[in-house]
Amino acid sequence: MDEMKTTAEPAEKKKLTLKEFLYEAFEELCYVAVLVILLFMFVGRMATVSGGSMLNTLHDEDRIIMTNFFYTPERLDVVVVDKQDGYYAEELIIKRIIAMEGETVHIDFDTWTVTVDGKVLDEPYIKREYGPMDREDMTTDTFTVPEGCYFVMGDNRNGSTDSRSDLVGFVKESEILGHAVFRLFPVDSIGVIE
């Protein structure tokens, strides 16, 4: 039986002209641009943090990526909210979900303790100051979250207008634009948002 030997000839590399190289590079950039646009349309969007209500988790001018792709809001998620009415109707706000529909939130302003349905939340992320938590325009310390809504608070409790105030109130699920998942800027703080 004769063995057939085959040898693969190395394919000759075609040298591209400058015009061909530029065309191929432009074509690749177009593919990448379309992919990025599709990702931002369907998976995530960029937003800029405005203000200090989420200190020390997020800072003014931080650039974040939020997503609503297959997203169901959960307790302690940091979310971007587009309030449909009230004081912040024209602005996006960023807060942390503290309680879900049907749950009761109690805030002890003296000890900074937040309880949900009688369970104390472990909140290592809050920016706590000495003395009691500011009450300002807060008329109560107990809130029951209505159906289809969430109770949100900023991590900087003394520098946040949130669900404790009638200026924001409860957040409807339809007002949640997305879950803030990643910080892009500043470069020294790039990473997952917790």
Residue 150 lies in a domain: yes
Share of the chain above pLDDT 90, in %: 50
More reliable by pLDDT, 62 or 14? 62
Domain region containing 146: 46-192
53 included as an active-site residue: yes
Which is catalytic among the residues 83, 95, 160, 163? 95
Residue-wise pLDDT for 104-150, tens only, equals 999 998 889 999 999 999 999 998 887 777 777 677 789 999 999 99
- Our count of domains for the chain comes to 1
Residue 13 lies in a domain: no
Average pLDDT score, the chain? 87
Which is catalytic among the residues 13, 14, 50, 53? 53
Residue 3 lies in a domain: no
Position 33 scores a pLDDT of 83
Residue 10 lies in a domain: no
95 included as an active-site residue: yes
Nearest to 163, CA basis, from 172, 152, 174: 152
Residue-wise pLDDT for 10-41, tens only, equals 556 678 788 888 889 899 998 888 887 777 66
CATH of the domain at 140: 2.10.109.10
The tokens of 101 are what? 């529909």
Nearest to 112, CA basis, from 104, 123, 103: 123
Q: Do 183 and 58 meet the contact criterion of CB atoms below 8 Å apart?
A: yes
Using DSSP, state whether 147 is helix, strand or coil: coil
Residue 1 lies in a domain: no
Position 44 scores a pLDDT of 79
